[in-house]
Every structure is written in structure tokens, then in C-alpha cells.
Amino acid sequence: MVDASITEQSNSNSAPLRQGEIRYLSLGLAAFVAIVTLSYWRSQPIDWMSFLNIYGAALGLLLIGIYLRTYKDAERFACITVALAGYALFGVSMGIVFHIYMPRPEPVLDEFLLRFDHYFGYHWPDAVTWLARDYAWLGRALSYVYVSSFAQLVLVIVMLGAAGRAARLDMLLVTGMIGLFLTFVVWQLLPNFSMGIHYPIPSEAEQAIRLVTNTSYGQALKEAALNGIPVISNETMLGVVAFPSYHTVMACLTVWFAFRTVAFWPIVILNIAMIPAIHIHGAHHILDFFGGVFVSFAALSLAGVFLSAGQGLTRGPSSNSFNRHQSHRNT
């Protein structure tokens, strides 16, 4: 028999946000504040209206999550929507921060990365041309793999939230955010760009495999690196960093946090294919991949520290609130 008084008490005491959510949303808010501060400091115009749909969606998802938790007792759906809001807020904000720091006319790490590739016999234009000539179908398949990174992370967010694994969901969000911030720090210390700005690719090869980082993309990135971006907008956003590869960070986190879900093995297989996809369609150097792996594990370690620091001092429902509420309902 359900104890109505216990159920009512659980609903009325539910805080709008859990402690873990407050922590990763604070990182998203910090990234947004960084945009406002840095754009003013560096006199960088931003077309805010072009980002309105993303920020509007993030705010809408956050409000929906709070409503679902507070009034509908839908904890799992609330976890999903709040997480997606945090993911969108931090991701687009840090993307803008990267672009505020254009131009970067002296990519100090590029020569070393290119020499390392040459030492091991890897030459990106040759790899693209070979794939387009002999295995065009594989090259096209890898293009779909490459652009699936964000969708894969969203899928894992939804699966963890739907399973009620709130603590692990918090860890995924914070790890991804710290990983992107570490990528930015490395890029600030050692500016670098992908091989797309160094090598043009024959148009027939680009078309044969639907090359993502094609010559046009590389030229736009080179122009931004040399001369900056007059007005940052959603249309001018580019993947600006080669080392460490954030595509690799996303792949590592997707596999790590998909563990013990029904999608784990398909995700493992897909992200094995992501390794050549990153190098071909992302125009990445060999070391970019290993740098991304290192950043992934560094971010995991730092995320654990960040989430555990001061745990229990911030008021809010715990990560296991859904499970406790269910046990009350079954009493």
C-alpha cells in the first residue's frame, strides 16, 4: 500500500536541480561569462542572434527539466533534459571562446606534428587519394562515422538518464566539459591546426569520399588563422584544433560511459572505425589522437575531484533520489 504522505513529502521537498547538475551548469555559465568578458576585452564582434536558437533551446530544456522534476515527478526525464541543456550551453560557449582567440598566425606545433607524421610515413593527402581511388565506399562510410560524434554523446546522455544513473550522467557532463577546457588550454599554449590548412586535396578525391575537412574548409580555417573572424556567428564556427583531437575525446567518453548499457558493443565497434575517420575526415595528425586519449583520462580524473569536492555541502536531491523515491512508492 502506498504511503501518500511519504510520496507527497518527497515531491514537495524536491529541489529544482541536483547537486551534480548545479556543478556542471555552473561550468556552462562560466563559459558564457567568459564569452562576454573576452569578446569585450578583445573587441571581437559576435552575432548573438545567430546563436539564439541554441541558447534558447538550452534554456528551454533547462526549464522543462525543472518543471518535470518539481511538478510531474518525472526524475529520469528531468535528468535528460537538464543534461542536454548543460551540454548545449557549455559546448557552444566554449566553441565561441576558441574563435575569439583567432587569429593565430603562428601555429608553433604544426611543424613538429608534420615531422612526426613524416617519420612514420603518414601523408594525409596520399591517404585521402588512395582511399578515394581504391575504397571510395569505405571513405564515404567513414564520413558518416566522423560526423556521428555529437549524436553518440547525446545518445549516451539519454540512455544514462533513462536508466536513472544520475551520478554517472553528471560525471559524463563534467568530464566532457573539462576535456574541452583542457583542449583549449593546450591549444593556447601550443597553437596548432589540422592538415587541412596545409594541403589542398583534388576535388575528385574530396567528392568520392565526401571529405568533411575539404579544401574549402581548410581555406576558411587558414583565413581565420591568419586574419581572424570579422564577426563570429553560428555560420563561421569551425573545428580549429588539431592537437589534442576533441573528436578523440568525445569517442573515448562515449565508449567509457556507454559501458553497461545495451548500446556498449555497437558503440565500441563504431568508435574503432572513428580512429581512421578522425585522421581522414578530420585531417588530424597521428599525435592528435594520442593527445585526445590523454586529455580524456586527465578529464576523467579531474571530474571526479570536482564532483566529490564539497559533496554534501550543497543542498539538493542526491543522485539516487529517483531510486529512493521508488522505494517509498513500493512500501
Give the range among 46-50, 104-108, 176-180, 206-210 with minimum mean pLDDT.
Answer: 104-108
* Nearest to 29, CA basis, from 85, 81, 67, 76: 85
| pLDDT average, residue stretch 135-164 | 98
- Stretch 225-229: mean pLDDT, rounded? 94
Q: What pLDDT was estimated at residue 33?
A: 98
Mind listing the pLDDT tens digit for each residue in 274-284? 999 999 999 99
pLDDT of residue 243: 98
Residue 105's pLDDT is 84
Question: At 79, phi and psi to the nearest 5?
Answer: -60, -40
Residues 235-257, mean pLDDT to the nearest whole number: 97
Which stretch of 8-12, 29-33, 170-174, 302-306 has the lowest confidence by average pLDDT?
8-12
Task: Name the pLDDT band for 316 (thresholds 50, 70, 90).
Answer: very low
34: closest CA among 267, 26, 317? 26
Quick one: pLDDT at residue 266?
A: 98
Residue 18's φ and ψ, nearest 5 degrees, are -80, 165
Please choose, from the candidates 42, 32, 5, the residue with its C-alpha nearest in 3D space to the C-alpha of residue 86.
Answer: 32
Residue 330 pLDDT level (bands cut at 50, 70, 90): very low
Cα atoms found within 13 Å of the Cα of residue 299, Cβ hemisphere only: 30
Cα–Cα distance, 37 to 100 (Å, whole number): 11
pLDDT at 8 over 70: no
Residue 309's pLDDT is 86
Residue 47 carries which side chain, given as an amino acid letter?
A: D
pLDDT at 7: 34
Q: How confident is the model at residue 310 (pLDDT cuts 50, 70, 90)?
A: low
pLDDT digits (tens, 9 = 90+) for 20-78: 999 999 999 999 999 999 999 999 999 999 999 999 999 999 999 999 999 998 999 99
Phi and psi angles of residue 265, each rounded to the nearest 5 degrees, phi first: -70, -40
> Considering only CA atoms, which of 217, 216, 210, 213 is closest in space to residue 132?
210
pTM for this prediction? 0.89
Q: Report whether 246 contacts 177 (CB < 8 A).
A: no
- Residue spans per domain, the chain: 4-309
Q: How open is the CA angle 79-83-85, to the nearest 5 degrees? A: 125
- Residue 261 banded pLDDT, cuts 50, 70, 90: very high
pLDDT category of residue 174 using cuts at 50, 70 and 90: very high
φ/ψ of 43, rounded to 5, equals 55, 45
Percent of the chain with pLDDT over 90: 87
Residue with cell 576558441: 98
Average per-residue pLDDT for the chain: 91
Q: What is the DSSP letter of 14?
A: -
- Rounded CA gap, 189 and 64, in Å? 39
- pLDDT of 6 higher than 90: no
